[in-house]
Amino acid sequence: MYWCRSGKRLKFVLAGGCMLVFCLQACKPGITEKPRFFDIKAYFTSDTAKLNRLNPFVQKTVIHNGISENQKVKIGDWGRELGLFIGADINKPALANSYTVVDNGDFLIYKAKYPELKMREMLIKRENGKVKWILIYNKTKTFLYQTTEKLSYFPDSLYLIEKDQKVKLMGNNHYSIEGVIVK
């Protein structure tokens, strides 16, 4: 009977050992890869942190279907305000071969290879290694709606979001948000 009890113990020891090996395997530090494309997410995470810290006034103009409203405001959460820019991140493993890249030093241009990709084109102007401006063109098309977006960002001075929506049975909408950072 002793061997029967030790057999149960052996099963528990083996099961515990296997769990320990799997747990230790999961605790390996993550392997970080250098982003394949311009790291738009890291760029805007850094920039929004700076803007949150500086907390500048913004002369903000919102236009919806021709009706305009303009106010001088403080933005409480720059990450949310510039969320569409952050959402244009193409450094995902599934997108590794989805964009053509042209880099001539001053300009960095990404173009989608496939029509179903939301981020269609991104242009980045650099001078002396610093980003001068970023333009992003997005397009989404389904059976029910079509959306196009043009996102423009000029660090420390201006951002512009232009969006057109065409929704079946609901009609068309045009939105424009312009934020001029007051210095």
User: How many domains in the chain?
Assistant: 1
Among 37, 147, 139, 136, which Cα is nearest to 88's? 136
Q: Provide the 10 A C-beta neighbour count for residue 160.
A: 16
Give Cα separations from 115 to 23, 93, 141, 156, 176 (angstroms). 42, 18, 10, 33, 25
In a domain, 121, yes or no: yes
In a domain, 28, yes or no: no
In a domain, 75, yes or no: yes
Locus of tokens 């009977």: 1
Model confidence, pTM = 0.77
In a domain, 30, yes or no: no
Q: Which domain holds residue 99?
A: 40-181
Model confidence at 170: pLDDT above 70: yes
The tens digit of pLDDT for each residue in 75-132 reads: 999 999 999 999 988 888 888 888 999 998 899 999 999 999 999 999 999 999 899 9
In a domain, 128, yes or no: yes
Average pLDDT over residues 152-173: 94
φ, ψ at 90 (rounded to 5°): -110, 10
In a domain, 10, yes or no: no
In a domain, 136, yes or no: yes
Calpha distance 126→178 (Å, rounded): 22
In a domain, 153, yes or no: yes
